[in-house]
A and B are shown apart, each in its own frame.
Chain A
Amino acid sequence: MTIGVTVNGKLYQDECDSVSLLVLLRDHWRLLGTKNACAEGECGSCTVLLDGELVNACLVLAAQADGREVTTVEGLADGDRPNTVQQAFLDAGAVQCGFCTPGMVLAVSDLLRRTPDPTEAQARRELAGNLCRCTGYQHILDAVRLAAEREAGAR
């Protein structure tokens, strides 16, 4: 069967239905911003939005993405201009090796959409599914705060 997925506003199609959304994104469509670090839903590196809902792309059956909309890290910025969350990651030093960053940026975006002014405890709970091996998370939590403040300021 043919699978059609609208990724970041653009329709992608494929003849394969036996693999995960992550394999579709990365291997079939070469959308490489979404990372593969465990392929079992433990690390959050492949986090994307599926119809606006935060998911691990590695745990979504490809066929189930048919006809749906996916937002990956590539869909967040306005060209080369990072969005508020991405800019906060830059300013707060929330990036080291950066492998967790795309998934982390999406998880933070989703958190702030649902909870515009999260406490640190809330942020920690909501981001627990995104592992980072480099930072110890502190600068990432700083970025959450910074992005929340900037988004509040912009409203």
Chain B
Amino acid sequence: MRVLRPTDLPTALRWHAEHPVTPVMGGTDVLVALGSGRLRPATLLDLSLIPELRARRTDGNVVRIGAGLPYTEIAERLGDPLPGLASVARLVGSRQVRNRGTLGGSLGTAAPAADPHPMLLAAGASVELVSVRGTRRVPTERFYRSPGRTARDRDELIAAIRVPVATGPQWFVRAGIRRGMTKSICSCAIVLAGGRVSVALGGYGPVPVRATAAEEFLGAEPAGAARLDDDLVDEFGRLVAAAAEPVTDLHATAGYRRHAVAVLARRGLRAVWRRRCGEGPR
């Protein structure tokens, strides 16, 4: 196995176009796949020497996060503009994994239960894909195709993730049997922005999804806290659970997921609502 180590993006893109390569950044997913034999590439494209992939900057109301920025940095430095994503970053794996793991890596692997996906979906993030052919932005809603498969073309690299700056409360909840190194059975992110609630799920269906019917049900921002009555919250939970057909796997049955994700959605909605109404910190 060969390792190519470009130090700038144009070179990386050229090599990527010319050879079948597997990109690797922090290695927290790729090394696991290499070790298990699930991945046996002839060539790895190491992106860790490309400084611009680790950059972060704010363009107006969007934070552009370099695909190679480790979760530790997201957790520690982006809490203000992106409180939801920063809170998820704090929950990823262990300290050791957060020091190496990146959003680009998680998006590249697209493991259905990985925690960042629902928050990216709910926050309306888009993925910046680059290749020798140019740059395009794909909204995360259209990014996840099937387990492990995404909208990224064979010659494209994930350059950055563009996440709108939070304008309201953001909340992430997950269900898992362990308190430490939690493997999410399913998870839910809820974002309140521009008077609308966005909600997305991970570890539920075959790919992370937005629960658009639930979002539409809430519609434009309800007039006041009074409208958040139990019936409304229950219906919201039901619609969230209906966003996809849940899977059964080692960790839980589909029936449990359908039940649990509705609970998570109800809690999430109440939590963002409390924060919107000024109860508790944002």
Contact = CB atoms under 8 A, between A and B. Distances in A.
Interface stretch (B93-101, B144-152, B267-275): B93-101
Contact of B97 (A1, A124, A129): A129
Contact of A44 (B34, B48, B96, B179): B96
A146 interface: no
Given A17-B3, A61-B46, A129 B96 contact: yes
Given A53-B99, A54-B99, A61 B31 contact: yes
Question: What is the size category of the interface that chain A forms with chain B?
Answer: 20 to 34
A42 B183 CA distance: 11
Interface string A62-94: 011000000000000000000000000000000
A60 B35 contact: no
A59 B24 CA distance: 11
B31 to A, nearest CB: 4
Interface string B29-57: 01110111000000010101000000000
20 contacts: A1-B3, A17-B3, A18-B2, A39-B35, A40-B32, A41-B31, A41-B97, A44-B96, A54-B96, A55-B96, A55-B99, A56-B96, A59-B26, A61-B3, A61-B31, A63-B44, A64-B27, A126-B95, A128-B179, A129-B93
B223 interface: no
Contacts of A128: 94, 179-181
Nearest to B44: A61
Question: What is the size category of the interface that chain B forms with chain A?
Answer: 20 to 34
B177 interface: no
Contacts of B28: 41, 56, 59
A59 B100 contact: yes
Interface string B1-43: 1110100000000000000000010111011101110000000
A47 interface: yes
A107 B99 CA distance: 12
Interface in B172-188: 179-181
A42 B93 CA distance: 8
A56 to B, nearest CB: 5
Contacts of A20: 27, 31, 34-35
B3 A41 contact: no
Contacts of B181: 42, 128-129
Given A17-B3, A63-B3, A129-B94, A58 B99 contact: no
B1 A107 contact: no
Contacts of A40: 31-32, 35-36
Contacts of A142: none
Nearest to B90: A125
Interface of A: 1, 17-18, 20, 39-42, 44, 47, 53-56, 58-61, 63-64, 107, 110, 124-126, 128-130
A12 B93 CA distance: 30
A107 B180 CA distance: 15
A34 to B, nearest CB: 13
Contacts of B31: 20, 40-41, 58-61
Interface in B93-140: 93-97, 99-100
Contacts of B46: 61, 63-64
Counting chain B CB atoms within 10 Å of each CB, which of A1, A107, A128 scores highest?
A: A128
A60 B100 contact: yes
A47 B96 contact: yes
A56 B94 CA distance: 10
A48 B28 CA distance: 15
Contacts of B36: 40
A110 B96 CA distance: 10
A44 B94 contact: yes
